[in-house]
Structure 1
Amino acid sequence: MLAIFLIRTADNRSMIMNNAGDSYLPDLGKYGNWKYVVRAFDDRANSKNTFSNATIKSKRRIVLIGDSFAQDFYNMIIEGKHLLKYEICVFYVSARCQIYIGPEDRLSLIEARHRPTCTNTYDIKYALPLVRQANIIILAGYWQEWSAQRLPSTLKLLNLTEQQQMFVIGPKNFGKVNPALYVNKSIEYRLKQYQNSPTEVVKINQLLEKTIDKSIFVNIQKMVCKGRNETCSLFTRDGKLISHDGLHLTKYGARHIGNIIFKNKPLNRL
């Protein structure tokens, strides 16, 4: 509750004065919240979310499919000005429902309490028209064990052509983050803040590394958590908070992590 109070009052003059020019609280108010995470992705999804005729010959069409981690990935593209030569369409699949195509009943694999939410919606099968038109397909999600185990089947049943490229973005988790703890702290203090990743997300990434081709897998966790014992920095080099909740990225976190993953394999092929 304290963190929410501080964020909501980021424009309070007395608090800003106490920070002596530090933009930490104003940044949180603008870019460290759920509204920021979803805004760009939702704007694209709610616009004319179809490919234009202009990109038929150029073969530079991307469809990005997934949950809030796909929204994060879209923000990485926007904030870092990556993939500027591509036309990008998006399709949302809730993390509760997961990305899956296969012989088993999808609803039977989903938690019972989430089945009503996932019935006849949030299903990758509804994205297949975009998949057929795209040259590059990117799947990004907070993968659960059951969907990660079945991902090879899902990829196979997408029936991609040899000319199409696929990329799978792994989950990320920097541990619990309480933004209120870093108010009025120096940049030097913030740069010393590292945390361990939850075991669950490490195991899911390891599972994905074993089940799908490494040439298409983007292990964000491994690329960015380079601290001692693979701990994750909570701040960028200039003292900007990377994630406001440990899972989703701020504007500066999106730019920071995007610059890392697009410079490394396999996304550096784009």
Structure 2
Amino acid sequence: MKYRAEIDGLRALAVVPVILFHAGFESFSGGFVGVDVFFVISGYLISTILIENIEKDRFSIVNFYEKRARRILPVLYLVAISSAVASSLILYPEHLVSFAKSLISTPIFLANFYFWSERGYFGDATELKPLIHIWSLAVEEQFYIFFPIFLLLIKNYKKIFYTSLVAAFVISIVGSYYVTKVHVDTAFYFPVTRAWELLAGAVAAIILHKRLIDVQGQRAEIISIIGLILIGYAYVGFDDHTPFPGIYAAVPVLGTFLYVVAASNSRFTKAVFSSGPLVFIGLISFSLYLWHQPIFALSRHLSMFEENIPELLLLTAVLSCLSYWLVETPFRNRSLISRKTIVIFSSLGGLSLIVIGAVMVSNDGFPNRYKKEDRALLTQLSDYKGYNQAAFDALQGRTFVGDSGPRIALIGDSYAKDMLNVFNESQLFSDVQFSTRQVNSECGNLYLNNYEVIEPNIPLNRLDRCKVLGWYGGDEFDAILRESDEIWLAASWEDWVIDYLPQSIDNLSEKYNKPVRVFGIKDFGQIRPYDLLSIPPNERSEYRQPASDSAKEISLRLHGALDGYEFFYPMLRPLCDGSSSECRIFTDEGLLMSADGRHLTKEGAIESSRRLSSVLARISSSLGER
């Protein structure tokens, strides 16, 4: 195909915002859509090559996958192995095991499914994952496993070809819209809900190859500029609350489509994006994309990211230039590296990544690297998530049986899960029947007659999921609430939720005519494992730090809103020995109360039951009197 320098210029406009987004630049809050620009470009370029070769009867599946291997695998393996070496020296066992699993998924192009299983692209957790960005590469390769075969099978059936292409596009974009509404993470990572973006590039390839639309002169200029405006708007107008991909992804996808179709016949746009600097950034864009995230993530683990962003950006650029010149370019040259060599390299390289990852996983992230007194603490960091969820999730929607003990409906988010663990570890509620209901914090743990009034407070990309989950709705849960003796609420109370909390309590009390107990928030301040390990073991039990300012503010607001309410139980001060400015974050045995400052470890739940003993005993006693 004819080389289009302005497409490489557009690659530069795609990769730079992605990097700036991952670097935390607020002005590029929608920089993540650079990936969608890449999808359309990739769909266009690959489809153009496929269509031209198939029409001339010179298409070869073997040649196609050989070229993909030359293009992708050498630098991908270089970055992955480099990241594995650095991660084995930097990451704690918990994070190293997670990294190892992502490493295993990399050569088999299933990283998108792995990161989907871990949930979430936005937020602190994802910033710490060195290979999180490989998900997009996996989606592309999953598409290219089937698309060439599809083209070959129907190349002689034009009606079927166009009908199938339109059908696949419609199914994918409609699926993306509806799946995004109910579960944004699934829509974000799954190939079916992303395929339409690559197919948009394929449509552009067909239009240009068949000359179905001839855009020239001033019209080409206007259309290509409109495309760039749409892309630019997404970069600065979208953020982590945007329901994405869904219909919002149509903005950058349409923008890229318009640019690809029109830019080659424009003058000004083509000249600008064919300029040397932009083209060079476009040429090294794949290396830039691969290198930046491991560098950023590992530096964040070392708590050295914020102060060294310019240096880290420079390091990313240098490594990208070197890998482009020394790895990408030679491996694409068939006269330098034969097909046999690339096959052997691809097989052994992929196998090496799988073996390295498997060794890391089987050895639990090598905890023996650390001193004996630190190993138990590190084990806590890897186990607390499962512990937090297990008991609560097992009791979701459980119906009460007989009259063997008090019946409690416990409603809330992960903080409610922590509270159930505290109740269980206290041994004071062994005769209680709990039935649980999860209401995510962003939805608001509220029982209201009209939920439309709180919709403006809920992030747009979570609103439809909140509606699907239904707060306290459903006949089965209504029956549980009616059969319960008491209703208990616990949550990481959002600031806006507090305004509606008294009304919610009144609604529950009026409808179900039973006590409604409300538990406040807890917080132990910022937990940084690297800093905590530096504290001598004999000093850990007395180490103190303040709770977060936001937690203190929420706690004060809860006090103000529920002042005088007999069934409100503040948590922050009791768990911090009476002072939210001096929270003991270790148990007497030197183990962590919380792994992240918000959620309890098993030892933290046991210690919390001790610190809250008087409150828990009072509640237990009142239940016995009913």
Q: Same fold (TM over 0.5)?
A: yes
Distance between the aligned counterparts of 1:4 and 1:170, measured in 2? 34
Structure 1 residue runs without a partner (length 5+): none
Aligned with 1:150: secondary structure?
Answer: helix
Pick which of 116-125 and 34-43 moved more.
116-125
Q: Go from structure 1 to structure 2 and tell me whether the alpha carbon gap of 1:50 and 1:78 turns closer, same or farther (over 3 Å shift).
A: same
Pick which of 224-233 and 127-136 moved more.
224-233
State which of 3, 8, 12 in structure 1 corresponds to 2:366: 12
Distance between the aligned counterparts of 2:540 and 2:90, measured in 1? 16
Map of 2:619 onto structure 1:
267
Aligned with 2:434: secondary structure?
Answer: strand
What amino acid is aligned across from residue 522 of structure 2 in structure 1? Answer: K
Q: Go from structure 1 to structure 2 and tell me whether the alpha carbon gap of 1:26 and 1:198 turns closer, same or farther (over 3 Å shift).
A: closer
Map of 1:125 onto structure 2:
473
What amino acid is aligned across from residue 619 of structure 2 in structure 1? Answer: L
Q: How does 1:129-148 map onto structure 2 within 5 Å?
A: 129-148=479-498
Q: Go from structure 1 to structure 2 and tell me whether the alpha carbon gap of 1:3 and 1:90 turns closer, same or farther (over 3 Å shift).
A: farther
State which of 15, 26, 29 in structure 1 corresponds to 2:382: 29
Map of 1:221 onto structure 2:
572
Map of 1:68 onto structure 2:
414
Map of 1:209 onto structure 2:
559
1:172 corresponds to 2:522: yes
Q: Go from structure 1 to structure 2 and tell me whether the alpha carbon gap of 1:155 and 1:128 turns closer, same or farther (over 3 Å shift).
A: farther
1:99 corresponds to 2:445: yes
CA contact (8 A) 1:224 1:260 kept: yes
State which of 593, 605, 608 in structure 2 corresponds to 1:254: 605
CA contact (8 A) 1:97 1:122 kept: no
1:40 corresponds to 2:391: yes
State which of 432, 455, 463 in structure 2 corresponds to 1:115: 463
1:20 CA drift (Å):
5.8
Distance between the aligned counterparts of 1:247 and 1:19, measured in 2? 26
CA contact (8 A) 2:374 2:533 kept: no
Q: Go from structure 1 to structure 2 and tell me whether the alpha carbon gap of 1:71 and 1:247 turns closer, same or farther (over 3 Å shift).
A: same
Aligned CA-pair RMSD: 2.7
Q: Go from structure 1 to structure 2 and tell me whether the alpha carbon gap of 1:144 and 1:133 turns closer, same or farther (over 3 Å shift).
A: same
Q: Go from structure 1 to structure 2 and tell me whether the alpha carbon gap of 1:182 and 1:248 turns closer, same or farther (over 3 Å shift).
A: same
What amino acid is aligned across from residue 441 of structure 2 in structure 1? Answer: A
What amino acid is aligned across from residue 208 of structure 1 in structure 2? Answer: L
What amino acid is aligned across from residue 80 of structure 1 in structure 2? Answer: S
What amino acid is aligned across from residue 368 of structure 2 in structure 1? Answer: S
1:116 CA drift (Å):
2.3
Aligned with 2:614: secondary structure?
Answer: coil
CA contact (8 A) 2:407 2:434 kept: yes
Q: Go from structure 1 to structure 2 and tell me whether the alpha carbon gap of 1:239 and 1:161 turns closer, same or farther (over 3 Å shift).
A: same
Map of 1:51 onto structure 2:
400
CA contact (8 A) 1:3 1:179 kept: no
1:235 corresponds to 2:582: no
- TM-score where L is the length of structure 1: 0.85
Q: Go from structure 1 to structure 2 and tell me whether the alpha carbon gap of 1:104 and 1:25 turns closer, same or farther (over 3 Å shift).
A: closer
Q: Go from structure 1 to structure 2 and tell me whether the alpha carbon gap of 1:12 and 1:131 turns closer, same or farther (over 3 Å shift).
A: same
What amino acid is aligned across from residue 93 of structure 2 in structure 1? Answer: L
Aligned with 2:395: secondary structure?
Answer: helix
Aligned with 1:89: secondary structure?
Answer: strand
Structure 2 residue runs without a partner (length 5+): 1-86, 98-362
What amino acid is aligned across from residue 490 of structure 2 in structure 1? Answer: A
Aligned with 1:125: secondary structure?
Answer: coil
Q: Go from structure 1 to structure 2 and tell me whether the alpha carbon gap of 1:143 and 1:180 turns closer, same or farther (over 3 Å shift).
A: same
Aligned with 2:607: secondary structure?
Answer: helix
State which of 405, 417, 428 in structure 2 corresponds to 1:82: 428
1:229 CA drift (Å):
6.6
Of all paired residues, the percent bearing the same amino acid is 23
- TM-score where L is the length of structure 2: 0.39
CA contact (8 A) 2:400 2:433 kept: yes
What amino acid is aligned across from residue 497 of structure 2 in structure 1? Answer: S
Q: Go from structure 1 to structure 2 and tell me whether the alpha carbon gap of 1:185 and 1:203 turns closer, same or farther (over 3 Å shift).
A: closer
Distance between the aligned counterparts of 1:70 and 1:228, measured in 2? 22
Which structure is larger by alpha-carbon Rg, 1 or 2? 2
1:259 CA drift (Å):
2.6
Provide, for residues 157-192 of structure 1, a one-character-per-residue CA deviation record: whole Å limited to 9, x for no partner: 112555x22210111121110224334754322123
CA contact (8 A) 1:10 1:28 kept: no
What amino acid is aligned across from residue 507 of structure 2 in structure 1? Answer: L
Distance between the aligned counterparts of 2:439 and 2:523, measured in 1? 19
What amino acid is aligned across from residue 6 of structure 1 in structure 2? Answer: P
CA contact (8 A) 2:543 2:585 kept: yes
What amino acid is aligned across from residue 12 of structure 1 in structure 2? Answer: F
Distance between the aligned counterparts of 2:600 and 2:458, measured in 1? 26
Higher share in helix: 2
Aligned residues: 261
Distance between the aligned counterparts of 2:374 and 2:529, measured in 1? 18
Map of 2:349 onto structure 1:
none
Higher share in strand: 1
What amino acid is aligned across from residue 92 of structure 2 in structure 1? Answer: F
Distance between the aligned counterparts of 1:125 and 1:262, measured in 2? 33
Distance between the aligned counterparts of 2:393 and 2:571, measured in 1? 23
Q: Which has the higher contact order (CA 8 A, sep 6+)?
A: 1
Q: Go from structure 1 to structure 2 and tell me whether the alpha carbon gap of 1:122 and 1:183 turns closer, same or farther (over 3 Å shift).
A: farther
Aligned with 2:464: secondary structure?
Answer: helix
Distance between the aligned counterparts of 1:3 and 1:231, measured in 2? 30
Provide, for residues 220-250 of structure 1, a one-character-per-residue CA deviation record: whole Å limited to 9, x for no partner: 1011213767321110122110000000000
CA contact (8 A) 2:380 2:595 kept: no
CA contact (8 A) 2:493 2:554 kept: yes
